[in-house]
Structure 1
């Protein structure tokens, strides 16, 4: 038949759309007006479609136009195809804009008590089709996974090494205090001088997991006149606080943790004078073109701005 090859008739989606409009109007003049085409041009396109198909889809007479039985079948299928084509094109655009993307996000544990919950809530409101997969990781792990392409975005403690190939933006500063066992000799100090902790056992995380944060803590101790005696190491915040509650040492604790986490047997106290601060922010590979990561990063920046605009001087002292 005319227009056929071994794969069947070659039909253009545009021609199917023209046919569908004519079939809806059953009038070439009205259909041509809807399509902003000349009536002769539209008639020619429909006739070319019939030639390509090898069968008649419209019956024409002086009283107008009607669908042939084959045309009725074609119209039903054409509507499905056109609807699917529209969906595919729309989905492609949404993926390009990041709205249908999957974003793999790492976060440090302290973000659970500061920025992360608000970010995830806001992301669901703004971008409901965006798939966000989160995993808790220490900052050093996030840097490595971002470099390997196994994370798209990190929410970690800054700074990062400028040679890391990552771009990072500080958005949140969290003052650091001390977690003490309940009943500790210094538990009634408010605020607590860091120098008073000279000679105390400390519970810290291994330096290789959070090198910059670890150095901030130890440098603050050295500035206060002593080197911290690290008696125990633990990787998780809950484990660190459990060791503190057991009386095995004291630990540094961010204000956001003290404000939101109640732990039996632990009291949190602010530090007098300049205190170390945890700086948190999003990081991604420099030059990243991941649209979903860009959308989520915008949400992080906005949520951090909202937090900065609120009162940041809430009471730190909390008794577990």
Structure 2
């Protein structure tokens, strides 16, 4: 019986859906199913009842679930405590961030942190919020900068930092390219390139939120998920894209970035940035980094 098998079982028990649980665990449903089967073989009993449409706990599964949660929580606690001790002795800080934070926030604060604490060993990982959070919870990262979830895990502390501005990326050959600002009505007949909602939910919702009271539905094209690829598609005149303002720093030929007009300020609330760490965990290097972040926040927020 392995910890990963227990985590897979808990995910399925929480979701009662193999597809949703697999997404939560960032793995294929078939692989998730194999781990559950191995766990059942190790225990010598069925934990889940499966049908074409439904997944439910067997009586043994319901009995085993709190035991599994306790084992995983205990293992995570031991891992976190000893990793914290190791970091305190070695002077390490492991940071994770989404692409928005990696562009300006991270370079800015690392520069100032290095000046004050040159002896701390720093490592950095750029990834999506959904992949950074599990690494933080299991102690593989100490501090992450992400889009905060509407309901954060009670085991985590989230510190809101700022909202990002947005722009419309459009080909410089388009008739709207010379506009000083764009309003929603201007986008009525323009195809908008959006990432798949499952892959980048914040980016997808950012575009849709503009049209909540527009009286018409936008034309959406889902042909790319990464921001650089979306920019390339815009340059190829396949459509326009609603994007964070920081993308203006990316190499982009034949592209114009136009601010969204006044009256749509609420869209900024779709792009929050927050610092997140494990609540109650003592970490001097992390606290020193947050001290730098909060001191430099007025400068950092102007970059976005």
Tell me the TM-score normalised to structure 2 length: 0.63
SS in 1 for 2:225: coil
- Unaligned residue ranges in structure 1 (runs of 5+): 1-94
Partner of 1:117: 107
Displacement of 1:122 in angstroms is 0.9
Match of residue 283 from structure 1: 276
In the TM superposition, what is the alpha-carbon distance from 1:96 to its structure 2 partner?
8.9
User: Is 102-111 or 141-150 further displaced after alignment?
Assistant: 141-150
What is the Cα-based RMSD across aligned positions, in Å? Answer: 2.6
Compute the displacement of 1:99 (Å).
8.7
**Take 1:134 and 1:224, find their aligned partners in 2: how far apart are those partners?**
41
* 1:118 Cα deviation after fit: 0.5
User: Could you tell me how far apart the structure 2 residues matched to 1:103 and 1:115 are?
Assistant: 16
> What is the deviation of 1:212?
3.9
C-alpha distance in 2, partners of 1:172/1:305?
A: 9
Q: Out of 239, 244, 256, which is 1:254 matched to?
A: 244
* Match status 1:267 vs 2:256: yes
Q: What secondary structure, in the 3-state scheme, does the structure 2 residue paired with 1:208 have?
A: coil
Within-5 A mapping of 1:52-201: 100-163=90-153, 165-201=155-191
Give CA deviations for 1:25-75 in whole Å, capped at 9, x if unaligned.
Answer: xxxxxxxxxxxxxxxxxxxxxxxxxxxxxxxxxxxxxxxxxxxxxxxxxxx
| Rg larger for | 1
Question: 1:293 — aligned with what?
Answer: 286
The number of residues matched between the two structures is 216
Show structure 1 runs of 4+ deviating over 6 A.
none
Q: Is the 8 A contact 1:97 1:291 kept in 2?
A: no
Distance in 2 between residues matched to 1:107 and 1:269, nearest whole Å: 26
Cross-structure match for 2:207: 217
Is the contact between residue 157 and residue 213 of structure 1 (CA under 8 Å) also seen in structure 2? no
Q: 1:306 to 1:182 in 2, by over 3 A?
A: closer
State the Cα deviation string for residues 173-202 of structure 1 (Å, max 9, x = none). Answer: 221111111211211221111221123222
Partner of 1:51: none
- State TM-score, norm by structure 1: 0.60
